[in-house]
Amino acid sequence: MESADRAVNRHYSRPKPYQRLLRLLEYPGLDALTTRRLFRLQLAYRSKQAPVEILDRITRAEAQVQETYSTFRAQFDGHSATDNELEDLLRASRDSERVKAAWEARKQIGPVVADALRQLARLRNEAARAIGFADFWQAQLLLDELEPDRLLHTLNAVDTSTRKPFAAMKADLDRHLAQRFNLAQLDLRPWHYGDPFFQETPEVFAPPADPLYAERDVVGLAAETYRQLGFRNIDAILARSDLYPRKGKNQHAYAVDIDREGDVRTFLNVERNARWMSTLLHELGHTIYQDGIDRAELPYDLRDDPQGFLNEGFAMFCEQPTTNPAWLSEMVGLVPSEAARLAPQMAAQDTASLLAFVRWCLTIVHFERAFYADPDQDLNRLWWDLEERYQQIPRPERRDAPDWAAKVHVATAPVYYQKYLLGRLFSAQLTRKINADLGGWWEGRAKSGDFIKRELFMPGARYAWPELVERVTGQPLGVEALAAAVAWPRAV
Ligand SMILES: [Zn+2]
């Protein structure tokens, strides 16, 4: 990976092609497609114009940090524990002492990598400043066609419009958790929230969804869902993919476009449970997007989404059938009355998780902004200030540890998290549009699949993202649709 990265650095760091692209962009009378191609290429070159010696140092430091993360195992209960083991325990246990121990173990990686991450931030800043940006945070956004001021404005709007429903949801949640752990609500601490960062809401608002899928062929269900939506390549995509777990296989899930010539695949570890049902719908959503880009009309460099958050937002949108009563009865085989009873509870659980996730995004995006503005400040304290402010999670008494460094994205996917938040905004806006005009993604499937293919997939990266969002949803990207979707309490 390191040597491939170095080769990429060398290609894009050449100053002459970069200067030539800048001159070509000035050329009068260019057509829109050519301008778009030159603009995107120019950004790719600009991102690597810092001295290649700094870029190589960053690449080496990143590879080392990545290796530390992937090989680190926490010490817990006298043995080496994986993240999965600790996180399963956080979700399942009802014993305060046990969850506290698991939570603390999950944060053990922090002190191991904190110094290296501060050093990496200084290096990334140095490279950003060498090409005229204020710091790495600003550079990453601008090189990715996001305006920092506009993003801050969006963060504030999200904060304002989700604060009340989040507080109401969390009050309900705290009542459940106090009962679960047999504690006073005032005694709840970060380890009681079922997730090391309270990224999602523990399953308290709906019965467990796993039993629905225990006897189901979840791959078959996902394939039939996309066939009925009109995505006939789904079987070819699945045939090329790596679907099931085996010994020594990477535990994650992703989708990848191998060649932009139609070889799209997904990598999964499917099991028969609710999480993998959603993950399948999500990752296959990525694959139909990539597969649906117009390869006949578009040149290689535009066979892409215009901004990663559109692809991510669409994949999140694709998870919605799992809380749809019609899908639950037609596809999963629930009795319609049972589906009608369960679906609203599952939708409430989803809304609760969405609220938790959005507030967590605010914590991490604000943290990264401050981190790159000044990597030498008291980051341990800043982290808990933000968690208290946005997520209402009280800091543990006297804790002074680099808990920020325990989140893998801070290290290996820096300044990426805003894409998840913007993706949620897009997903909510797309849902509103399709519900209003086509009667719903699943209910309107004779038309909704076609609409998405034509409006979202076909154009690839032909338009800049603000234009594509407006073309597809009829409005510029905003927070109104998300705000309307997270009302709490839910009528259940
Ligand atoms: Zn995704």
Q: Would residue 88 count as lying in a domain?
A: no
- CB atoms near residue 121 (< 10 Å): 23
319, 278 in Cβ contact below 8 A? yes
Greater confidence (91 vs 425) lies with: 425
CA of 65 to the centre of ligand 1 (A): 23
- Exposed/middle/buried for residue 354 (C-beta within 10 Å: 0-12, 13-18, 19+): buried
CA of 177 to the centre of ligand 1 (A): 30
Q: Which of 72, 96, 122 is the last residue of a domain?
A: 72
- The Cα–Cα gap between 123 and 194 comes to 35
Does 298 lie in the same domain as 159? yes
Does 10 lie in the same domain as 142? no
Does 389 lie in the same domain as 253? yes
Weakest-pLDDT range from 61-70, 106-115, 187-196, 224-233: 61-70
The secondary structure element, H or E, covering residue 341 is helix 336-373
Q: Which of 50, 72, 94 is the last residue of a domain?
A: 72
Q: Would residue 93 count as lying in a domain?
A: no
CA of 314 to the centre of ligand 1 (A): 9
The residue assigned the tokens 């609203």 is: 344
pLDDT tens sequence across 52-97: 999 999 999 999 998 898 888 999 999 998 888 898 899 999 999 9
DSSP 77: T
- The Cα–Cα gap between 267 and 238 comes to 10
Q: Which two tokens stand for residue 381?
A: 């304290």
**Dihedral-angle region of residue 228 (phi above 0 means left; psi in -120 to 50 means alpha; beta otherwise):** alpha
Average pLDDT of the residues of the chain: 95
Does 309 lie in the same domain as 436? yes
Does 267 lie in the same domain as 377? yes
CA of 284 to the centre of ligand 1 (A): 9
The range of the structural domain enclosing residue 445 comes to 133-492
pLDDT, position 318: 98
The secondary structure element, H or E, covering residue 76 is strand 74-76
Number of domains comprising the chain: 2
CA of 368 to the centre of ligand 1 (A): 21
Q: Which two tokens stand for residue 65?
A: 């940090």
pLDDT tens sequence across 106-161: 999 999 999 999 999 999 999 999 999 999 999 999 999 999 999 999 999 999 99
Beta bridge partners of 76: 79
- Exposed/middle/buried for residue 492 (C-beta within 10 Å: 0-12, 13-18, 19+): exposed
CATH number at residue 303: 1.10.1370.30
Does 474 lie in the same domain as 405? yes
Instruction: Inform me whether the pLDDT recorded for 491 exceeds 80.
Output: no
Does 303 lie in the same domain as 448? yes
Does 137 lie in the same domain as 62? no
CA of 286 to the centre of ligand 1 (A): 7
CA of 255 to the centre of ligand 1 (A): 8
Q: Would residue 102 count as lying in a domain?
A: no
Q: Would residue 350 count as lying in a domain?
A: yes
- The Cα–Cα gap between 235 and 238 comes to 5
CA of 293 to the centre of ligand 1 (A): 17
- In the chain, count H helices and then E strands: 22, 4
Instruction: Inform me whether the pLDDT recorded for 439 exceeds 90.
Output: yes
CA of 462 to the centre of ligand 1 (A): 21
pLDDT tens sequence across 321-333: 999 999 999 999 9
Q: Would residue 444 count as lying in a domain?
A: yes
Q: Would residue 89 count as lying in a domain?
A: no
- The Cα–Cα gap between 205 and 176 comes to 9
CA of 398 to the centre of ligand 1 (A): 37
Does 141 lie in the same domain as 68? no
Does 305 lie in the same domain as 165? yes
- The Cα–Cα gap between 417 and 251 comes to 21
CA of 282 to the centre of ligand 1 (A): 6
Question: Taking residues 220-239, what's their average pLDDT?
Answer: 98
Instruction: Inform me whether the pLDDT recorded for 490 exceeds 80.
Output: no
Instruction: Inform me whether the pLDDT recorded for 492 exceeds 70.
Output: no
Does 243 lie in the same domain as 169? yes
Does 431 lie in the same domain as 339? yes
Q: Which of 30, 50, 72 is the last residue of a domain?
A: 72
Q: Would residue 8 count as lying in a domain?
A: yes
What percentage of the chain has pLDDT greater than the value 90?
91
CA of 26 to the centre of ligand 1 (A): 37
State the DSSP string of 137-174: HHHHHHHTT--HHHHHHHHHHHHHHHHHHHHHHHHHHH
CA of 95 to the centre of ligand 1 (A): 33
pLDDT, position 167: 97
The residue assigned the tokens 């893998």 is: 408
Q: Would residue 126 count as lying in a domain?
A: no
